[in-house]
Amino acid sequence: IIGDAITEAPKLAQRNGIQFDMAFIDGDKRTYVDTYEMLLPLMSKGAFIFADNTLWDGHVCDPSYLHDKQTIGIREFNDHVADDNRVEQVIIPLRDGLTAIRVK
């Protein structure tokens, strides 16, 4: 299936009556929070969501990127997931960062 996961994943889950055990977020950084929120209801208990680029080459901590829309999206996503009590999460600090998120 080729398309936007925000619209295609719910259709796939509904059409096949399934829940996902694993999902990988890596796309437009400005839509990470929307993608994450779309995925959560489709995930099995104990499932994992992996989000790529969550350290964004250090830009998330660099004040010179305060107005960069991609960096803002990653910062918002990191804060959103950190505050979400529906999941457990850890950022793995390899390269651009990978966040492993386990659905409770």
- Closest by Cα among 42, 13, 9, 25 to 80: 25
> pTM of the prediction?
0.92
Residue-wise pLDDT for 44-97, tens only, equals: 999 999 999 999 999 999 999 999 999 999 999 999 999 999 999 999 999 999
Q: Which pLDDT belongs to residue 71?
A: 96
Q: Which helix (DSSP H) or strand (DSSP E) does residue 10 occupy?
A: helix 5-16
CA–CA separation, 91 vs 74, rounded Å?
Answer: 12
Q: Is the pLDDT of residue 2 over 90?
A: no
- Six-digit token string for 41: 């209801």
Radius of gyration (Cα) for the chain, nearest Å?
14
Residue written as token pair 């990470």? 32
CA–CA separation, 19 vs 67, rounded Å?
Answer: 37
